[in-house]
Structure 1
Amino acid sequence: MKSTFLRVFLVVLLSNTVVVSIGLGIVQFVQKHNQVSADLLGDIGVQLVAGYEKFGLAALKGEAEKAEKRLSGNIYLYQENGRPLLKPLPRNFRENDTSGTTAGNALSKGARADGRPAADFLHSQFIQVIGANNVQYLLIFRPNPEIDSLAPGLVIALSLLGLLVSSGVLAYWLLGPLLKLQRVARLFGQGDMSARVEDKLARRSDAVGKLAQEFNEMAVRIDTLLSSKERLMRDVSHELRTPLARMEVALTIAEDKFAVESQKSYLCRIRTELHELDELIGQVLTLSRLEAAALSKETVHLQEWLDEIVADVSFESQLKGISVTKSGTLPKTLLGDPLQLRHAIENVLRNACFYAGEGGIIEVATEEKGGNALIFVRDNGPGVPEEKLEKIFHAFYRSSEAREANSGGFGVGLTISKRIIHAHNGCIEAKNRPQGGLEVCFKVPLV
């Protein structure tokens, strides 16, 4: 934690230092660019004073105009008594220069009451010039205000640019690793047990690196626990079938050789329970073996394949007066394991037929949307309470209504369907229909 705080502090400090340094550097550059060397101004001042003393005021103005064009600024020349020889200095430099101002207004606009000129000490340069007979003159040079006014805006613009860049670097440095962790955590939560944070991020010595290391260690432990759980379920279920087979043989011998008429009903009940237990063990084995690597994918002609499933379920349900219909012509093909997908569809269809009851109506519809094959199974049964919609896909979960109806199921069929669809990188969802009944949607990506 301390290391992370120190790094954030140093990054912010460095970014602010860079911004301030850039601003100060720009200000100094502009000021130096606008200033003229003192030696050059001194030479110009000597030339102007010599010309004035030798040729008069007209010659001074001509030479001053040439010098102003060369230096891109304004030149003001005062005698030691404060009288301007050229245009008077403005009261402040926000006013335009008044080259036509008379000498009588020079004191009011360009000089203070004590006879000294009012000057802008920040932007002006002052040179003292000695003329003939030790007469002193004051030369004031000020750059053009158009050039000087560019400096503040340029500094502000570059400072804002520096802040944006430094803030972007800081945000990326802080959020980049967290976004990577978020992506890996999402993949892991969606069932990708191999998702891990990259080694480069996990090797960091700060709190983010520690978090990445902890996540990888947690992922390994969870993966190991789930693998052990599935292995245990598979092994136990497999081992249970051996004594069940022996019990079946012993039951058959007892019925044939030793059973009396009063015992046959009990032996028949035992056989029924053995068959249910064997079926449950088979479903548990199927559930534990459903992984993406175990699928045998091939191109499935979806509509023909689905027609066969609907025909089989419809044949089984005809004695109850249940109608099973199919609609939709897209998509045409699907890449998947046809046997496992058949189990998934049949489990949901038989579940819908059971809850629809006598005279029920089951609809199977297909669509193609966003690169996915959508298969809808809709019934007109009682539906499922909203708080239980998600639970119906949990293993061994059965609603109280199903238990009271003694459906004979074990609460594993929908779980198997969900596992099969997830192994195909798809998803399965259930929702209540507005007109009554339940709608289950299979979404499988098209390749």
Structure 2
Amino acid sequence: MKNTFLRVFLVVLFSNMVVVAIGLGVVDFVQDKDQVSADVLGDVGVDLVSIYEKSGTSELQAQARIYEQQLQGSIYIYQENGRPLLRPLPRNFREQSALDSEADSEASQAAADARRSQFIQVIGASNTQYLLVFRPQDNSDEVSPWVISLLSLLGLLVSSAILAYWLMGPLLKLQKITRSFGQGDMTARVDSRLVKRNDAIGNLAREFNEMAGRIETLLSSKERLLRDVSHELRTPLARIEVALTIAEDKQGQEAQQNYLDRIRNELHELDELIGQVLTLSRLEAASMQKEQMDLQSWLSDIVEDVQFESQLKGITITKTGSSPKALHGDPVQLRHSVENVLRNACFYSGEGSTVQVEVSEVDRRAIISIKDNGPGVADEMLEKIFHAFFRSSSARESNSGGFGVGLTIAKRIIQAHNGEIQAFNRPEGGLEVKFCLPIS
């Protein structure tokens, strides 16, 4: 986002500089156009020289004042020997402070910008040459061009920064709201100040709020449907189990008992599946009860419990690594996640095998790796095993009795902690499942 702000700032700054350059060019062009044309000044010069040669200096001065009022400037006429006919050009305006007000005014006009002064050569009688100098009025105070340039640059920088922030500010707010919404806050909405804008940003804010509302409604409906269906399914299951118990009390044949046992097992599996679906539907980041937990002690308890369950198969679970010491998370939900993967590792490893649990810390992230010696998973299925109700062919062939929901629940729990879970086939055989959790 900082790069985007810089790009917008540079684009706005360049645009402003182009506009200012064009404006200065237009002003300079207009100023040049404000100058009196050479033809007009030539006619004025011929007329004034003619008056001087016929009537003398007094008539020349009177007529020169008339022309100065018409042309809005000061007229100076010199003979070819350098003698001024009206008044000499002042060498320095500051030297005229002792003059009277009229002379001071004329000197001020004469001290105008020399770049705008015009010079006309006039030929009088007997080929006598005269020089007419015309300087237009300039009542503005002189300011250093460097000061003007610095002030203009400062104004461009400030205006460009304000305009860039005005454009990027709403986008930064939208980014913040979008991030919150993506992290599970379904109530995140753009504030009303942006929504009320009558531009593209306002349209984007309104469409985001509408989209967020629809997504929240859809998710709420999905979760409510899963809960309702699961609860409704459990009601007839309970009645079937009661009827099954009565039937077992009245059974008389061994074959009949086998069928009843099979029905009970299927009922228990169906009840377990419904429980897992309910758990899956409730797993959101907002539902986690996070706290500071002793990672090593917590993980040792899990290893000890699963080791106790697997002792009849002769499976050994080893735990290595002593860092990190602490982790911020939901100990109950994280236990479900790690325990599920560890039980799977023990199941697929077979009797007399060893399952390794390794703990480490990399870049402020806790890494928990569970390695087994089982048959592994086909490479193209490593991502799919975390999908709901997916089981690899080896899992089906081994008659594990699972539903393909455990790893999905584990992944959902880890994602709710802003972590990752991945599976790899080990080069020496077996599967490695790695948990990556941020340490806060």
TM-score range, shorter chain: 0.5 to 0.7
Structure-2 residue corresponding to 1:311: 304
Shift of the alpha carbon at 1:42? Answer: 5.9
Structure 1 pair 206–230 and aligned structure 2 pair: CA distance change class (3 A): same
Shift of the alpha carbon at 1:311? Answer: 1.7
**Quick one: distance in 2 between partners of 1:29 and 1:367?**
76
Shift of the alpha carbon at 1:159? Answer: 9.3
Identify which of 231, 234, 240 aligns with 2:224.
231
Structure-1 residue corresponding to 2:43: none
Identify which of 346, 354, 359 aligns with 1:353.
346
Q: Deviations over 1:229-278 (max 9, x none)?
A: 21221222223323322322322222222332221111111111111112
Structure-1 residue corresponding to 2:130: 136
**Quick one: distance in 2 between partners of 1:124 and 1:244?**
103
Structure-2 residue corresponding to 1:24: 25
Shift of the alpha carbon at 1:443? Answer: 3.0
1:249 aligns with 2:242: yes
Structure 1 pair 13–420 and aligned structure 2 pair: CA distance change class (3 A): closer
Q: What is the SS of the residue equivalent to 2:422?
A: strand
2:73 and 2:134 in contact (8 A); partners too: no
Greater alpha carbon shift after TM alignment, 259-268 vs 377-386: 377-386
**Corresponding letter in the other structure for 2:307:** S
Q: Unpaired segments of 5 or more residues in structure 2?
A: 1-11, 33-67, 96-113, 136-143
Structure-1 residue corresponding to 2:291: 298
Shift of the alpha carbon at 1:403? Answer: 2.3
**Quick one: distance in 1 between partners of 2:151 and 2:258?**
95
2:226 and 2:277 in contact (8 A); partners too: yes
Structure 1 pair 176–252 and aligned structure 2 pair: CA distance change class (3 A): same
Structure-2 residue corresponding to 1:108: none
1:368 and 1:374 in contact (8 A); partners too: yes
Q: Deviations over 1:332-355 (max 9, x none)?
A: 122333222211110111122233
**Quick one: distance in 2 between partners of 1:287 and 1:43?**
98
Identify which of 422, 426, 441 aligns with 2:418.
426
1:181 and 1:197 in contact (8 A); partners too: yes
The alignment of Structure 1 onto Structure 2 pairs a total of residues equal to 361
Structure-2 residue corresponding to 1:379: 372
Please, what TM-score do these two structures have when normalized by structure 2?
A: 0.65
Greater alpha carbon shift after TM alignment, 360-369 vs 162-171: 162-171
Greater alpha carbon shift after TM alignment, 189-198 vs 213-222: 189-198
Q: What is the SS of the residue equivalent to 1:265?
A: helix
**Corresponding letter in the other structure for 1:389:** L
1:283 and 1:412 in contact (8 A); partners too: yes
1:50 aligns with 2:51: no
1:260 aligns with 2:253: yes
Q: Deviations over 1:144-174 (max 9, x none)?
A: xxxxxx98x9999999998888877776666
Q: What is the SS of the residue equivalent to 1:270?
A: helix
Structure-2 residue corresponding to 1:410: 403
Identify which of 383, 392, 398 aligns with 2:385.
392
Shift of the alpha carbon at 1:70? Answer: 9.3
Structure 1 pair 167–391 and aligned structure 2 pair: CA distance change class (3 A): farther
1:428 and 1:440 in contact (8 A); partners too: no
Q: Unpaired segments of 5 or more residues in structure 1?
A: 1-10, 32-37, 52-59, 72-121, 142-149
Q: Deviations over 1:61-113 (max 9, x none)?
A: xx99xx49999xxxxxxxxxxxxxxxxxxxxxxxxxxxxxxxxxxxxxxxxxx
**Quick one: distance in 2 between partners of 1:272 and 1:50?**
129
Structure 1 pair 68–44 and aligned structure 2 pair: CA distance change class (3 A): farther
**Quick one: distance in 2 between partners of 1:276 and 1:342?**
22
Structure-2 residue corresponding to 1:92: none
**Quick one: distance in 1 between partners of 2:398 and 2:300?**
30
**Quick one: distance in 2 between partners of 1:290 and 1:398?**
21
Q: What is the SS of the residue equivalent to 1:373?
A: strand
Structure-1 residue corresponding to 2:61: none
Q: Deviations over 1:191-232 (max 9, x none)?
A: 442333333333232344223322221221221121122122
Q: Deviations over 1:124-157 (max 9, x none)?
A: 744459999975246799xxxxxxxx98x99999
Structure 1 pair 20–40 and aligned structure 2 pair: CA distance change class (3 A): closer
**Corresponding letter in the other structure for 2:20:** V
Please, what TM-score do these two structures have when normalized by structure 1?
A: 0.65
**Corresponding letter in the other structure for 1:428:** E
Q: What is the SS of the residue equivalent to 2:317?
A: strand
Shift of the alpha carbon at 1:306? Answer: 0.6
**Quick one: distance in 1 between partners of 2:168 and 2:381?**
37
**Quick one: distance in 2 between partners of 1:289 and 1:131?**
105
Identify which of 214, 224, 228 aligns with 1:221.
214
Residue identity (%): 57
Structure 1 pair 20–219 and aligned structure 2 pair: CA distance change class (3 A): same
Structure-2 residue corresponding to 1:339: 332
**Quick one: distance in 2 between partners of 1:430 and 1:363?**
16
Q: Deviations over 1:4-29 (max 9, x none)?
A: xxxxxxx9998577434553388589
**Quick one: distance in 1 between partners of 2:15 and 2:227?**
59
Q: What is the SS of the residue equivalent to 2:250?
A: helix
**Quick one: distance in 1 between partners of 2:180 and 2:334?**
23
1:42 and 1:127 in contact (8 A); partners too: no
Q: Deviations over 1:366-414 (max 9, x none)?
A: 2334443332223344443444333322222222332233211011111
Structure-2 residue corresponding to 1:240: 233
1:324 and 1:364 in contact (8 A); partners too: yes
Structure 1 pair 162–14 and aligned structure 2 pair: CA distance change class (3 A): same
1:23 and 1:155 in contact (8 A); partners too: no
Greater alpha carbon shift after TM alignment, 171-180 vs 301-310: 171-180
RMSD over aligned CA atoms reads 4.7
